[in-house]
Amino acid sequence: MGRIAALAAAVVFVAAVGVGLYLAGSPGEQRLVRFDQQRVLHLTEIRKSIDEYWRTHRALPARVDEDVIGITMPRVPRDPETDAEYEYELRGDDAYRLCAVFSRASADHMADEFWAHDAGRHCFDFQVTEHDGDQAAVPSWRPVHARRCGNRRQLPASTAPISPRPLAGLALPS
């Protein structure tokens, strides 16, 4: 009788661990998800630093370095998995792009849909716009995939501090 109870307890334990891994993902999978969450946090902090740089200099920086980041952070963040630099591309006097390589596609239930991404290299475009006389860099109409533009969800109005303006060359949906 004791052997049967021990065997049943072992089966229940193994089943519970299996269900837990299925629902939460393996530890390795969770590690990749945490890396992606850190990447989004880094890109958000870089964007905030660029916003502050714009407010101070009324221009976008030529590159993101300690002079730009030092306004809000002690050092330029790097990819938590590869230690690579994040990509920053100046796209005119009033627009720029931030890119990162993500391990997994973002969850469908992300709180901020602007930062939704697929696995692999993904870019987010920003454009300086004016709001009540105070200029700040804010998200453009929608994020743009590297080499695969379009068909991403529109930035919800509830997350935009002002009415977003499309980047030059992007057509508004009809």
- pLDDT tens-digit series, residues 17-63: 666 555 556 888 889 999 999 999 999 999 999 988 888 888 999 99
Q: Is the pLDDT of residue 145 over 60?
A: no
- Number of Cβ within 10 Å of residue 46's Cβ equals 22
Instruction: Say which residues have a Cβ less than 8 Å from residue 147's Cβ, sequence separation at least 6.
Output: none
Q: How far is residue 123's CA from residue 145's CA, in Å, rounded to a whole number?
A: 6
Q: Report helix, strand or coil for 94.
A: coil
Q: Is the pLDDT of residue 12 over 60?
A: yes
The pLDDT confidence band at residue 134, using thresholds 50, 70 and 90, is low
The pLDDT confidence band at residue 5, using thresholds 50, 70 and 90, is confident
Q: How far is residue 154's CA from residue 121's CA, in Å, rounded to a whole number?
A: 20
The pLDDT confidence band at residue 64, using thresholds 50, 70 and 90, is very high
Phi, psi of 120 (to 5 degrees): 100, -165
By the 8 A CB rule, do 126 and 95 touch? Answer: yes
The pLDDT confidence band at residue 13, using thresholds 50, 70 and 90, is low
pTM for the structure as a whole:
0.65
By the 8 A CB rule, do 83 and 95 touch? Answer: no
Q: How far is residue 54's CA from residue 64's CA, in Å, rounded to a whole number?
A: 12
